[in-house]
């Protein structure tokens, strides 16, 4: 267990049901869009890495033959397993594991998917290589995540307030870097879709991670400066009630394993 993995476990154990019920996690339309990108026919075996509360794995279970969700945090897996039992889903299973060392042999899955987790990985290339290893020839790799600015200083400004909120955050990748990671992993990029922005309400977003008051104040200050001077590209704004929001840009990248 690395120090970073311990931070991930602590963060998502702390978040628990708060994370699972957030609109950016549970939005059915966004989940359906990601699942549709795989073009499943009902015969596929699917692996969902960093599955969290299991929403993606659960959605794939309706269109695939078998789905396995894997996650590092037992608290998240407990939520996922509870949902599976309530819905009596027989072709869906969950297990604990480290996404850097997936506990599967090569070429076992037709689809390997990861949603909103790459910004928690210390080495996204290593994780993607593992996803590719367990994917069959001509199989599909799907990644959806937050996308940072292509300009390093602006991306770093966003990472600053993301890390203050959640110590398990590492770095949001610019789209160009994510595409490079796909290429270097030996994938053919099939589609790139910029999903509609998430627009979290800042205080609710921070309450999910139980951000301490001093850090929350620093985040609000950074967002307010960003609102006035456009430092990150997240375009913070005040709604009609004066509540602070900002934009999280997201993208879905679909790759095909051709070798």
Pairwise CA distance, residues 101 & 114, whole Å: 15
Residue 138 falls within a domain, yes or no?
Answer: yes
Residue 95 falls within a domain, yes or no?
Answer: yes
Q: Please give the tally of structural domains in the chain.
A: 1
Q: Are 248 and 179 in contact (CB under 8 A)?
A: no
CA angle 101, 106, 110 (to 5 degrees): 105
Residue 67 falls within a domain, yes or no?
Answer: yes
Per-residue pLDDT reduced to its tens digit, 94-107: 999 999 999 999 99
Residue 207 falls within a domain, yes or no?
Answer: no
Residue 23 falls within a domain, yes or no?
Answer: yes
CA distances from 243 to 57, 104, 199, 203 (A): 34, 46, 12, 9
Pairwise CA distance, residues 70 & 231, whole Å: 36
Write the DSSP symbol of residue 232.
S
Give all strands (DSSP E) within the chain, no chain letters.
Answer: 45-49, 66-71, 92-96, 109-115, 135-146, 187-198, 237-238, 244-245, 248-257
Q: For residue 139, what is the domain's CATH number?
A: 3.40.50.150
The pLDDT score that the predictor gives to residue 1 is 74
Task: Give yes or no for residue 113 having a pLDDT over 80.
Answer: yes
Per-residue pLDDT reduced to its tens digit, 208-253: 999 999 999 999 999 999 999 999 999 999 999 999 999 999 999 9
Task: Give yes or no for residue 177 having a pLDDT over 80.
Answer: yes
Per-residue pLDDT reduced to its tens digit, 141-162: 999 999 999 999 999 999 999 9
User: What count of other Cβ atoms lies within 10 Å of the Cβ of residue 247?
Assistant: 16
Give all strands (DSSP E) within 116-208, no chain letters.
Answer: 135-146, 187-198
Q: Among residues 91, 190, 70, which one has the least CA distance to residue 138?
A: 190
Residue bearing tokens 């967002």: 223
Residue 130 falls within a domain, yes or no?
Answer: yes
pLDDT, averaged across the chain: 96
Q: Among residues 144, 174, 142, 143, which one has the least CA distance to residue 158?
A: 174
Q: Which domain holds residue 23?
A: 3-148+168-198+249-257
Residue 16 falls within a domain, yes or no?
Answer: yes
- Residue 197: pLDDT band with limits 50, 70, 90: confident
pTM attached to this predicted model = 0.96
- Residue 32: pLDDT band with limits 50, 70, 90: very high
What are φ and ψ of residue 15, in 5° steps?
Answer: -75, -45
Residue 71 falls within a domain, yes or no?
Answer: yes
Share of the chain above pLDDT 70, in %: 100
């Amino acid at each position: 267990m690395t120090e970073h993995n311990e931070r991930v476990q602590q963060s998502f154990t702390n978040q628990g049901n708060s994370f699972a019920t957030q609109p950016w996690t549970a939005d059915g339309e966004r989940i359906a869009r990601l699942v549709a990108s795989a073009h499943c026919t009902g015969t596929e075996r699917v692996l969902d890495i960093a599955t969290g509360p299991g929403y993606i794995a659960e959605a794939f279970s309706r269109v695939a033959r078998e789905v396995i969700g894997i996650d590092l945090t037992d608290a998240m897996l407990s939520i996922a397993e509870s949902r599976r039992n309530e819905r009596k889903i027989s072709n869906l299973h969950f297990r604990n594991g480290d996404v850097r060392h997936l506990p599967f042999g090569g070429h076992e899955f037709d689809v390997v998917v990861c949603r909103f987790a790459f910004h928690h990985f210390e080495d996204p290339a290593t994780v993607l290589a593992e996803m590719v290893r367990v994917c069959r020839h001509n199989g599909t790799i799907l990644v959806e995540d937050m996308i940072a600015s292509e300009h390093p200083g602006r991306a770093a400004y966003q990472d600053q307030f993301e890390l203050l909120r959640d110590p398990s955050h590492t770095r949001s990748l610019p789209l160009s870097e994510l595409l490079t990671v796909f290429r270097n992993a030996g994938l053919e990029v099939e589609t790139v879709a910029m999903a509609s922005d998430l627009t979290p309400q800042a205080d609710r977003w921070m309450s999910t991670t139980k951000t301490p008051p001093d850090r929350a104040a620093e985040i609000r200050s950074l967002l307010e400066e960003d609102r006035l001077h456009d430092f990150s590209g997240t375009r913070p704004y005040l709604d009609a009630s004066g509540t602070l929001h900002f934009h999280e840009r997201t993208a879905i990248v679909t790759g095909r394993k051709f070798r």
